[in-house]
Amino acid sequence: MLTTLLSILRRCLPTVLLLAGASALLLLTDRAGATRSLPAVAILQQVSSTVLDDAITGMLAGLAEKGFREGETVSIRRFNAEGDMSQGNAIAREIAGGPYDMVLTSSTPSMQQVANANSRGRLKHVFAAVADPFSAGVGFDRADHSIHPPWLVGYGSLAPVDFTFGVAQRINPKLARVGVPHNPAESNSRRFMELARTSCERRGIELLEVPVENSSGVIEAVQSTISRGAEVIFCPGDTTVISAIDSVIAVAGKAGIPVFTVNPGVPDRGTFFDVGFNFLEVGLVAGRLAGDVLNGTDPTTVPIRETAAEIPPYLTLNLTAKGIDRGLWRVPDDLLSQARYLIDDAGRHDAKDAVLPGPFTEPQP
């Protein structure tokens, strides 16, 4: 009987040790949380880019406005997946099981990764730099913005697609073919492409699409659309494509093709025009919301918000960008007056109070 008992113990020992280890880890995590003198916040972004970096800078500023200054009244640790989805999932799991009170995410993939890893709601989660959160598959309802996981809130920042194609068509009324590289694995990108197809069908523009899986395929995709007769390249709100935006501009410009986007304008970046949000401001409003939640606001009382309701998109124009045939691409005077940032032969002109008149509604398919 003793031999049998020892045999049973040997078989059970690994399981007992595993359970003991897990319990010890949870205990240590709980004790770490209990003994912290400052609230702890983790921040995750999918890739290094101006857009996502600006959103995080804005988040930190918004937190500071609410009294949470890094190193003084809040402890903050930043994570970056550097464009690697598997790495992003691993970091999200680390954050979800770590000694944090809240996690902030910048980009749709990061929001999705943390939402999945934090599915039990151990941490409060505030997101920004997500064009269309309602298509992300994390429990939001496009028809009722008050429906969302009780620990997950933030701002959608869907730039106006039909309005942007309208700008392109006003500048070049004969525009017939637009090239678009996009990553269909990104929910943001899928939404932008749905809207772009509807807009182009309505406007009589042929959309030359080339799907890509990662940033290394973007240049080949751009070259493919140019070989098929693209007159201009459109870059949607797609993390994969925007991470390669400098190369897109260089390749298109060499071929005599301009580039336009629905991403926030960097006046000297080289795009012809951009309609989008200032992502410092996008991050700022999300950071303020995060500060409110840390101060006790119940996330269940906060609907998923739209950036455009608080921050209008703006126009950037660069009349010196490569690839512009000035005989075809002529900017009307009223658009020039509506540009927040304008570069022409005389230099750069900033009109920080300039706003676009809208409307920014999207046509139905």
Question: Could you tell me if 314 and 340 are in contact, meaning their C-beta atoms sit under 8 angstroms apart?
Answer: yes
Mean pLDDT of 332-345: 95
Q: Is residue 291 pLDDT above 60, yes or no? A: yes
- Where is 150: in which H helix or E strand? none
Q: Which two tokens stand for residue 140?
A: 């939001």
Q: How far apart are the first and last CA of the chain?
A: 76
Mean pLDDT of 145-166: 96
pLDDT band at residue 20 under the 50/70/90 scheme: very low
- pLDDT of res. 257: 96
Q: Is residue 300 pLDDT above 70, yes or no? A: yes
Mean pLDDT of 5-29: 47
Give the pLDDT confidence of 166-215 residue by residue, as tens digits: 999 999 999 999 999 999 998 889 999 999 999 999 999 999 999 999 89
Give me the residue spans of the domains in the chain. Answer: 35-158+279-309, 161-277+313-350
> Which distant-in-sequence residues (6+ apart) come within 8 Å of 298 by Cβ?
none
Superfamily of domain 35-158+279-309: Response regulator (3.40.50.2300)
Q: Which two tokens stand for residue 312?
A: 């209008």
For 359, other C-beta atoms within 10 Å of its C-beta total 9
**Between 312 and 217, whose confidence is greater?**
217
- pLDDT of res. 308: 84
pLDDT band at residue 11 under the 50/70/90 scheme: low
pLDDT band at residue 239 under the 50/70/90 scheme: confident
One fold for 35-158+279-309 and 161-277+313-350 = yes
Q: Is residue 252 pLDDT above 80, yes or no? A: yes
Q: What angle do CA 16, 18, 20 make, to 5 degrees?
A: 70
Q: Is residue 89 pLDDT above 50, yes or no? A: yes
pLDDT band at residue 137 under the 50/70/90 scheme: very high
Per the prediction, the chain carries an average pLDDT of 90
- pLDDT of res. 316: 95
- pLDDT of res. 148: 98
pLDDT band at residue 25 under the 50/70/90 scheme: very low
User: Per the omega criterion (within 30 degrees of 0), is the bond before 160 cis?
Assistant: no
pLDDT band at residue 299 under the 50/70/90 scheme: very high
| Alpha carbon distance 184, 212 (integer Å) | 7
**Between 165 and 135, whose confidence is greater?**
165
Superfamily of domain 161-277+313-350: Response regulator (3.40.50.2300)
The beta-strand segments (E) located in 92-224 are 102-106, 124-130, 152-156, 177-182, 206-211
Distances (CA, A) of 245 to 7, 27, 132, 219: 63, 46, 21, 9
